[in-house]
Structure 1
Amino acid sequence: MCVKVACVGGGPAGLYLSILLKRQDPAHDVTVYERDPEGSTYGWGVTYWRGLLDRLRELDPGSARAVEEHSVRWRDGVAHVGGLATRHHGDEGFGIGRHRLLAILAARARELGVRLEFEHPVTGANPPAADLVVAADGAGSALRTHHADHFGTEITGGRDHYVWLGTTKVFDAFTFAFVETDHGWIWAYGYGFGPEGSTCVVECAPGTWTGLGLDRADEAEGLGLLEKLFADVLDGHPLSARSSGRASAAWPVFRTLTNRTWSRDNLVLLGDAAHTTHYSIGAGTTLALEDAMALATALRERDTLPDALAHYERERRAALLPVQSAARLSAQWYENLPRYIHLPPEQMFALLGQRHSPLLPHLPPRLYYRIDRAAGRLETLRRVKRRLGPVIARTVQARRLAAGDGRARSGRPDAVPAHRG
């Protein structure tokens, strides 16, 4: 359908869409425009889960193999609360350095014939000439902002402040650390992305942020304070504030972004340009790649561009609803941390895993924990019953048949069939 496509933004969404379009039809003329130099990016590592990897394998096995080879994986989650710790075994998760992921996708795009134009900024006033222009230029999208009235962008700020850091400490599990200070609690999420280190996101309430002086501290002072607060989990490793030369706002609040519509004529929004979800559910990169998958499929299967863009938006909006709900509830769980933090660590960690539940905010935490435990035991019994039920039924039937045959051979008058229909 689309002979010439311009993807504005060289992040995971734009690069993966270009790969999928060239795989669908090598005749497509696809160019990715990225404002920054090649090899420079913000952030440290990204997380994803087994389901995404399976989809990547289906759509482009070559790039999927490279992504998996350069990822670290974990199954455990660890929570440190003050001087106590608890560990849970869970689903398999993956982490990969953002630099590495982008390098893999860029190399694959080039291999397929995509043109990559780095250090090529695009604004709303100078969009590329193409049959389809894809705004994959992030939450601050210049293309979307230029048509803000049309897209109906709404931005809602969260309450807590956060900072995205890196460390040379390689965590062997997805790690949560909660530290109490004289000004309230401060916490960190840490996960490895390779042998070189881990991502470490630190978050706290506004009163804690100002009480600790983090709102006034320069970069070195802030990092030094955080290294002391989280010394037990960092094991002496330093924290770093940037993975590239790009300056970023210090300690922002998370901004949830939505749009009334995702397309305008031949311009369509992709990834963070269309929607954002709170970082605490670790879904940003996955959602961006899934957007690319859905848009590529719609462009292949629909007869006209307007129909394809409308179908893409409907499909992704529906898929995002439960994720956006989970992200909102997750952010609220942390904003109400004092409600849960004084539970025994095992219970607190269990409710941390249940933070997406819409029921949790409305029940006393200890009561919710007891109900959840009881429901878990009941579900375990159901699974056992489903698994063993047919085996038990066959065993009972065999015994009844054997007993019936024995009675018939002995001439006993009470011999009856084992099953009466």
Structure 2
Amino acid sequence: MKVVCVGGGPAGLYLAILLKRQDPAHDVTVHERDAEGSTYGWGVTYWRGLLDRLHEHDPESARALDAHSVRWDEGVAHVRDLTTRHRGDQGHGIGRHRLLEILTDRARALGVHVAHEHEVGPDRLPAADLVVAADGVGSVLRARHAGHFGTEVTTGRNRYIWLGTTKVFDAFTFAFVETGHGWIWCYGYPFDGGRSTCVVECAPETLTGLGLDRADEAEALTLLEQLFATVLDGHRLIGGASARGGAQWLTFRTLTNRTWYRGNLVLVGDAAHTTHYSIGAGTTLALEDAIVLAAALREHAALPQALARYERERMSALLPAQSAARHSAQWYEDLPRYIHLPPERMFALLGQRHSPLLPYVPPQLYYRLDRAAGQLETLRRFKRWLGPKLARAAHGRTP
């Protein structure tokens, strides 16, 4: 099979790896328009479940990914001068440059041809049995047939900027700062021994009120360093992460498609779907797309059946993530509804932001109900454990 992947991000590279592992005779090429090593972005995050899956499908790249990632198992929230900390699931961070370097090296070792600075347009697709559109949210291959794919884009309200920092956070960190123009907040997590990702977000009126919409990058970084001085501990913020003009304030675009394939053209990763960055799932979903597509191609000799299965499985699997992302973005857009709770309660509801019920229940009441439900579940587990023991005791047998 001859396969062309357009886009050298995680989805395209990992699919190429899996296809060559399945059958070394496959002719697989990855075309990436940017120069090697010039990727945008700082660190990406993923969770233990993904790493376990990667070990199942390609242990060598999984070991390299694991070795170059940093870990945390706590979350911390700073609200004004108050701080609360909780243990949680194990998270992992890795620099996007390092992630792509690992996947590129592994792909080449398996015989994949990875061509950088090579742009493929919709009107000059290479001859191939399968063309994979892995060219991101702005996919030109998808846009050429947007009517067929049923592409829809919904733009969020809040503005955000993706930055780096020399502060190495020891946990997934949230910091909420009140200004005279409203609240501004950041999410931070480490991705190597000397740097962290720091995403800053605020409502549009806060952005304009602080003058951040008019400030150049240096002025904006200086102001943000002052606003988040407590959490940054004197460390600086770093901009200019984009290979195409530096860091900038954005609105998040949630992209969906009615179908993910047309003939021998198939969408993967951000070309097929996006989920709000606040749930930290983008890289995971892209790699899972590659896993499912590779499996479908292995198990179905006919391409239409393989692509139909891939679309069906991934669309179904994405529903919970898309719902969680939608409600998570809404939580931050409704931040004034929660921010004046005691930090412990606010952080608890931050952890519940994926709930479809939360926007419709008074926050204090939701917190109390959630706590009560947790206690009831603990009681149920205790009763399930105790029941057999009491039954055995009633019959004169010891556990």
Relative to the length of structure 2, the TM-score reads 0.98
Cα deviation, residue 385, structure 1: 2.9
- The correspondence for 2:277, drawn from 269, 276, 279, is 279
- Indicate conservation of the 8 Å contact 1:43/1:242, yes or no: no
Quick one: distance in 2 between partners of 1:9 and 1:400? 64
Quick one: distance in 1 between partners of 2:289 and 2:111? 22
Confirm or deny that 1:221 pairs with 2:213: no
Cα deviation, residue 243, structure 1: 3.2
CA pair 115-373 structure 1, distance change in 2 beyond 3 A: same
Which stretch shows the higher mean deviation, 379-388 or 283-292? 379-388
- Structure 1 residues 165-215: Cα deviation after superposition (integer angstroms, max 9, x where no partner): 000100000000000000000000000011021000000001100000011
Matches within 5 A, 1:60-79: 60-79=58-77
Residue aligning to 2:359: 361
Confirm or deny that 1:320 pairs with 2:329: no
2:248 is matched by which residue type in structure 1?
A
- The correspondence for 1:132, drawn from 109, 130, 133, is 130
- Indicate conservation of the 8 Å contact 2:45/2:92, yes or no: yes
- Indicate conservation of the 8 Å contact 1:42/1:242, yes or no: no
Residue aligning to 2:327: 329
Residue aligning to 2:287: 289
Quick one: distance in 2 between partners of 1:264 and 1:397? 66
1:163 is matched by which residue type in structure 2?
I
What is the RMSD computed on CA atoms of the aligned residues? 1.4
CA pair 101-387 structure 1, distance change in 2 beyond 3 A: farther
Quick one: distance in 1 between partners of 2:350 and 2:229? 22
Quick one: distance in 1 between partners of 2:170 and 2:370? 28
CA pair 96-394 structure 1, distance change in 2 beyond 3 A: farther
Structure of higher CA gyration radius: 1
Residue aligning to 2:24: 26
Residue aligning to 2:235: 237
Residue aligning to 1:122: 120
Q: Alignment partner of 2:259: what SS?
A: coil
1:139 is matched by which residue type in structure 2?
V
Confirm or deny that 1:160 pairs with 2:155: no
CA pair 386-215 structure 1, distance change in 2 beyond 3 A: same
Residue aligning to 1:82: 80
- Structure 1 residues 140-171: Cα deviation after superposition (integer angstroms, max 9, x where no partner): 01111122222221111000000000001000
Quick one: distance in 2 between partners of 1:21 and 1:334? 40
Relative to the length of structure 1, the TM-score reads 0.93
- Indicate conservation of the 8 Å contact 1:257/1:274, yes or no: yes
Quick one: distance in 2 between partners of 1:194 and 1:391? 50
- The correspondence for 1:253, drawn from 232, 235, 251, is 251
Count matched residues: 399
Cα deviation, residue 383, structure 1: 2.3
CA pair 224-30 structure 1, distance change in 2 beyond 3 A: same
Q: Alignment partner of 2:63: what SS?
A: helix
- Indicate conservation of the 8 Å contact 1:175/1:190, yes or no: yes
Confirm or deny that 1:59 pairs with 2:67: no
- Indicate conservation of the 8 Å contact 2:239/2:247, yes or no: no
CA pair 116-257 structure 1, distance change in 2 beyond 3 A: same
Residue aligning to 1:374: 372
Cα deviation, residue 322, structure 1: 1.0
2:135 is matched by which residue type in structure 1?
D
CA pair 390-194 structure 1, distance change in 2 beyond 3 A: farther
Quick one: distance in 1 between partners of 2:391 and 2:166? 56
Q: Alignment partner of 1:91: what SS?
A: strand
Q: Alignment partner of 2:155: what SS?
A: strand
- The correspondence for 1:203, drawn from 201, 204, 210, is 201
- The correspondence for 1:264, drawn from 247, 262, 265, is 262
